Amino acid sequence: MAKKDRNAKAPTTERGNLSAQPRLHQSAPEIQAYGTVSHMLPLDLEEPVRLEMTEQLNLLLADTMTLRDLYKKSHWQVAGPTFYQLHLLFDKHYGEQSEIVDTIAERIQLLGGVSIAMAADVAETTRIARPPRGREEVPVQISRLLDAHQIIIGHCRELAELSTKLGDAGTNDLVVSDVLRANELQQWFLSEHLVDAPLVHAEQPQLRNAG
């Protein structure tokens, strides 16, 4: 039996030497810069329109990601007699906002842009005020969430008008159907928790003195 040549080279293919060793610590220049859009996409939307839409959608995305995380913070830190109900509600809204985040990001990429992604970049972009690290009372938690919803709802209305003006029906549909309506519904569920209504005994109307 012939001895194996120790100096023989490993089998090669057109792709070079085969190896099971992972190629770690790789780096290379970006393939697309943030704030740009791909050219010549078959979307029937001019590049300036797509640039404007992706810029506005990234603002909306940053605020939505912040609201999503604010819901998770509230879910973890809520306290008091309404803990159970709000613990579940906050987590439900968190899940819904997570789906909205993905929908917005995919629309940005579809338009040829680059979606914002990392926490540090989101923090630099969002218009929602940063909460403290510690726990807050339930009314303050809800008020913070409502303020965040108001920012997003207002931007949705502006962006819906702008996208219609620029002829981007797809972005208009996303903003109205997926983002605006969901945020309107969530703010309704939240705001009802701030109504100062009796829990057990109904307040009796004050009787006026006759005469």
What is the pLDDT confidence band of residue 205, given thresholds at 50, 70 and 90? confident
The predicted structure's pLDDT at residue 58? 98
Query: What number is the average pLDDT over the span 126-141?
Result: 97
| Global pTM value | 0.87
Please state, rounded to an integer, the average pLDDT across all residues of the chain: 92
Question: How many whole angstroms separate alpha carbon 208 and alpha carbon 211?
Answer: 9
Per the rule left: phi > 0, alpha: psi between -120 and 50, beta: everything else, 207 is beta
CB 34 within 8 A of CB 114: yes
- 3-state SS assignment for residue 76: helix
Does position 19 have pLDDT exceeding 80, yes or no? yes
Token reading at 124: 């630099």
What is the pLDDT confidence band of residue 204, given thresholds at 50, 70 and 90? confident
pLDDT tens digits, 74-127: 999 999 999 999 999 999 999 999 999 999 999 999 999 999 999 999 999 999
Determine how many CB atoms are found less than 10 A away from the CB of residue 165.
10
Question: How many whole angstroms separate alpha carbon 43 and alpha carbon 129?
Answer: 36
**Which residue did the predictor score with more confidence, 46 or 39?**
46
The predicted structure's pLDDT at residue 199? 83
Does position 73 have pLDDT exceeding 60, yes or no? yes
Q: How far is CA 197 from the centre of its chain?
A: 33
The predicted structure's pLDDT at residue 211? 52
Question: How many whole angstroms separate alpha carbon 189 and alpha carbon 93?
Answer: 10
- Which of 48-52, 114-118, 163-167, 207-211 is least confident? 207-211
Maximal C-alpha separation, the chain: 125
The predicted structure's pLDDT at residue 1? 55
Tell me how far CA of residue 184 lies from CA of 130, 158, 176, 177, in angstroms. Answer: 22, 15, 10, 11
Token reading at 23: 């190629």
Q: Which domains does the chain have, with CATH numbers?
A: 47-194 (1.20.1260.10)
- Which of 65-69, 106-110, 150-154, 206-210 is least confident? 206-210
Residue 206 DSSP one-character state? P
CB 134 within 8 A of CB 74: no
* Contacts within 8 Å (CB) and 24+ apart, 196-202: none
